[in-house]
């Protein structure tokens, strides 16, 4: 099964290039060019990891991150920016970002962070599934 990644950035050429690099590495990738489009896709589909730009017109990355975590708390979000500040990094981590990368990012670094984020999400999903199964078994008296 491929890791499902949503890339969100208003820089279309950058995000399309990054999407191609991830697809070559066998990820399932979709793109969104602003926070609203990202949220719309997240409502329609389950993603394992979101790579989210901090500075975007309209809804910025921190606002989008808050809504993503509200909609899908287990989705890990990697913040991405060319305008990083310590404050922004701290805000992102406090809001629930999994990690933070500077643009331009090394593709191998990003791939490593995506795989790590996926592993953690998969472990959470597995624990939830097991708890649900145990609850069913307990309720049926098996």
For the chain, the structural domain boundaries read 4-140
Average the pLDDT over 56-81 and give the result. Answer: 93
Contact (Cβ atoms closer than 8 angstroms) between residue 47 and residue 75: yes
> What torsion, rounded to 10 degrees, do the Cα atoms 63, 128, 123, 109 define?
-10
Mean pLDDT of the chain: 91
For domain 4-140, which CATH number applies: 2.60.40.10, 3.40.30.10, 3.40.1790.10, 3.40.50.2300?
Answer: 3.40.50.2300
96: region left, alpha or beta (phi > 0 left; psi from -120 to 50 alpha): left
pLDDT of the residue at 84: 60
32-61 per-position pLDDT tens digit: 999 999 999 999 999 999 999 988 889 989
Query: C-alpha 86: how far from its chain's center?
Result: 20
105-141 per-position pLDDT tens digit: 889 999 999 999 999 999 988 999 898 888 888 888 7
């Amino acid at each position: 099964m491929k890791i499902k990644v949503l890339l969100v950035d208003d820089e279309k050429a950058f995000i399309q290039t990054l999407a191609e690099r991830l697809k070559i590495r066998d990820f399932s990738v979709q793109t969104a060019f602003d926070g609203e489009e990202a949220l719309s896709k997240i409502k329609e589909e389950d993603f394992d990891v979101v790579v989210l730009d901090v500075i975007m017109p309209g809804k910025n990355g921190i606002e989008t991150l808050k809504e993503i975590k509200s909609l899908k708390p287990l989705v890990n979000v990697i913040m991405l920016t060319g305008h990083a500040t310590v404050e922004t990094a701290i805000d992102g981590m406090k809001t629930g970002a999994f990690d933070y990368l500077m643009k331009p990012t090394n593709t191998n670094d990003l791939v490593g962070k995506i795989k790590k984020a996926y592993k953690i999400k998969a472990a959470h999903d597995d624990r939830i599934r097991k708890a649900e199964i145990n609850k069913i078994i307990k309720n049926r008296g098996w």
